[in-house]
Amino acid sequence: MSLLSDYDYELPRDLIAAHPLAERSASRMMVLHRAEQRVEHRAFTDFPTFLRPGDLAVLNDTKVIPARAFSDDGRIEFLFLEQHGAHRWVCMAKPGRKLPVGASTQVGGVAGVVEEVLPDGERVIQFAAAVDLDRVGELPIPPYLGRAVEAGDRERYQTVYAREPGAVAAPTAGLHFTPGILAQVPHAFITLHVGAGTFKSVHTERIEDHAMHSERFEIGEEAAGAIRAAERIIAIGTTTARVLESCGGARREMEAQRGSTDIFIYPPYEFRAADVLLTNFHLPKSTLLMLVSAFAGREFVLEAYAEAIRERYRFFSYGDCMLILP
């Protein structure tokens, strides 16, 4: 049995990266060698040097939408999570108590009615027309940044290869890549539209009792073929790892597909598709930290986090990264 308290650590507030570095690729990169239980300190610009012939980096090309918006009267904050049909949205609403079933609201001059309140509190809202989120919305940067969204976030809280709109959070391991570094790395793209559930807090002491939200993904024919042919798979981020591990079987059996996944990966899960993982540093007690612990071992990961704190690495979405090797 795994306990939530097993994935806790103390992080000084000043190590949370509130803003990105001036250059995307300027981040530090902690390298974990699993077999040797060894840590080394490198720069992200060294990432291509760790690849071997036959390696394939798999990246999530989802694009963050400006999903955060307010009702026209300013009383309700919305996070537009998923569109169902032309004008029907599943939304998080705060404060939700003001929006029971049948309640009316208006966003960007478009009227909406709450049709359903889902078990986890999300609202299904039918709008009378399309809500122009590009005009009235803003990128939903993580609240732990402790600041309002800024103009620069529209570019920097987005990977340089983002092309499939639908996420409400960035696949942050990919934020370090520049076009130049990406060109040095054999790669393929999959899509997982990151939802709020990826970052939902775990409230059960037994982590096995936590339920993950479902998120939509797609693997195209070209990517599936490249994955089957690769000698090793380098998963760029936990979202990519979740897609690969959701598809069942070894990577040699990967097929083009689309669907949704609610996979929850925690120790002692054994990975079948991902051989190497590039990831950022994650929040205490988070499902993302649990996934990384499954990949590299909980004790080794927490020891590495302690060293990262001593070495003053930058944490979370705009922070530094970690490369986990066999």
230-271 pLDDT tens trace: 999 999 999 999 999 998 667 778 999 999 999 999 999 999
Structure tokens at 101: 């079933």
Looking at residue 197, what is its pLDDT? 73
- CB 169 within 8 Å of CB 194: yes
- Cis-peptide, bond into residue 95, ω within 30° of zero: yes
Instruction: Give, for 155, the enclosing helix (H) or strand (E).
Output: helix 153-156
Closest by alpha carbon to 81, among 72, 91, 96? 91
Taking residue 180's Cβ as centre, other Cβ atoms within 10 Å add up to 10
pLDDT at 248: 67
Alpha carbon distance 96, 79 (integer Å): 12
Give the per-residue pLDDT at 274: 96
**Beta-bridge mates of residue 104:** 113
Q: What's this model's pTM, rounded to 2 decimal places? A: 0.94
Q: What is the pLDDT of residue 213?
A: 85
Pairwise CA distance, residues 281 & 318, whole Å: 10
pLDDT score, position 57? 98
Exposed, middle or buried: residue 36 (CB in 10 Å: 0-12, 13-18, 19+)? Answer: exposed
Residues in the chain where the model's pLDDT stays below 50: none
Adjacent-strand bridge partners of 41: 30
With tokens 């049709």, the residue in question is: 115
CA distance 58 to 163: 15
The CA angle 207-298-290, to the nearest 5 degrees, is: 40
Q: Which residue has the tokens 């051989």?
A: 275
**Tell me, what's the pLDDT at 232?**
96
Specify the pLDDT at position 196.
80
Cβ partners under 8 Å of residue 270, min gap 6? none
pLDDT tens-digit profile of 24-50? Answer: 999 999 999 999 999 999 999 999 999
pLDDT of residue 262: 93
